Amino acid sequence: MPTDVASFSPDMHIHNRASPFDCCSINTNEFSCFHPVRSIASSTPMAGLVLFLLLSLPLSATLGTTHRIRATAEGSSFSSLLVLGDSMFDTGNNNYIPTYFLANHLPYGRDLDGGNATGRFSNGLLVPDFLVSALGIKQRSPPFLDPTLSNADMLTGVNFASAGSGFDDVTTVLSGVIPISKQLEMFRAYLAKLELIAGKEEATKIINSALILISEGTNDFILNYYDLQTRKVQYTMEQYQEFILQKTRDAIEELYHLGGRRFAVVGLPPLGCVPVQITIDLENFKRACIAEENFDTFAYNAKLQELLFEMRPSLPEGRIAYIDVLLPLLDMVTWPQKYGFEVTNKGCCATGLVEAGLLCNSLSTSCPDASKYVYFDSIHPTEKAYRVIAKQILDEVVPQLY
C-alpha cells in the first residue's frame, strides 16, 4: 500500500484525525512515520519524490545552531527590497485601510523601540526588517501606504504586504484587506512614483536590481479551505493547490513584465502547528500538530518548488529562489531547546489559543518573556522565530540571487 513518509523527532506528538501513524525510530534524531490512508506520492509522482527527498533529511541538518543575523551589506547587489505578502511580511499597511485585521495596538510591538505597535503582527520586527537591515539597504521595511514615506524610502524599496491577504481574492472578501491582485496595482503605482522621483531609466535599474519577496497562501488555505471552507465546496485540496499555484505563476510573470528580475517566493509554514488550528481541532486534547494539514503543506510546497523550477526558462533575465519556512518552524517546534524556546503550541498573548488581531490587546494578560515562545499570538511567530527564518534566508537563499 502506498504511504506518505515524514520525519519527526521522537518527542514530537503527531495527531491525525483520520488514521493513526505507524512510526519507527531511524536514529536518535529521526522517526519515520507512515500514513496508511493518504498518498501524496501516488497522486503526484514528482511532488511525491521531492517531498520524500525533503523529508528524508533530518530537520536538524537543515539549519545552523547559531541564529545571530550577520550583516551582508558588503558586496550586496540589491538596490532595494520590495515585499508582497500577508501578515508574515506586513509592516503596517493595514493601519491605513478599513479592516479589523489590525496589530497597531499593544501588546503587538511591545519589544520594539520600548513598546511601539506599528502594525506588525509580532512582538517586534519581521523577516523583511531583518533582511533589509542585514543587506545594508536601510533599517526597516516601510509600508507603502504610509503617507510619510520619503523619497529615500521609495528609492530603497517599500512593502505592499497586507495581513489577512492571499492569492485568492475570495480570501479577502470578509476582511477587506489587500489581496495580491491589488498589491500588484500598488506595485504599478509605486513604479510610476519611482519614475517621477528618479527618472524612467534609473527607476528601471532600481526595479531590475531589487530583491522581491512574495509570501502568500497561508490565509487561502486556513481561512478559505480548512476553517470557513468557502473553497472546499468547489475544489478538492489538490485542485485548490493548483488554483493557488496558477495565481503564483501569474503574479511572478506580471512582476517580471514590470521589470522585476530577482524573486524569492515563500512556501507555506506548517499549517498544522499553528496554535489556532490546533485549538479548532476539538478532539486534539494533547495540542499536537495536525498531521493532515502538515501533509497538505508539504505537498503544496513541493509543487511550488516544481513550479519555480519550471518557470526559470520563461524568465531569461531573472533569478528565482524558494524560501522554506516550513522546515525551520518545524525544527523550532520539534526541538525548541535548540533555540531556547519553551512553549511551541500556544502563543504568548492572552491564552495563546485563539487570540490574534483585535482579540490580542492591552487588556490581555500576556507572557512575561516572548523569547521563550515560538508564536506570539495564536497565529504569528515571535520576533525571535522570525530572526531564525531571516538568518536562513540570508545564508541559503540570498546567495542564489546574486
Q: Is 4 a catalytic residue?
A: no
For residue 399, give the DSSP letter.
Answer: G
Out of 133, 146, 371, 380, pick the active-site residue: 380
All three cell numbers of 101, joined, read: 485585521
Q: Is 87 a catalytic residue?
A: yes
Among 37, 213, 49, smallest CA distance to 132 is for 213
Residues 6+ apart with CB under 8 A from 91: 83, 118, 119, 120, 126, 128, 129, 140, 141, 142, 143, 159, 161
CA separation for the pair 90, 77 (Å, rounded): 24
Q: Is 113 a catalytic residue?
A: no
3-state secondary structure 181-226: HHHHHHHHHHHHHHHHHHCHHHHHHHHHCCEEEEECCHHHHHHHHH
Out of 87, 133, 165, 378, pick the active-site residue: 87
286 and 235 in contact (C-beta within 8 Å)? no
Out of 111, 129, 220, 377, pick the active-site residue: 377
Among 22, 3, 11, 14, smallest CA distance to 270 is for 14
Q: What are the residue numbers of the active site? A: 87, 377, 380
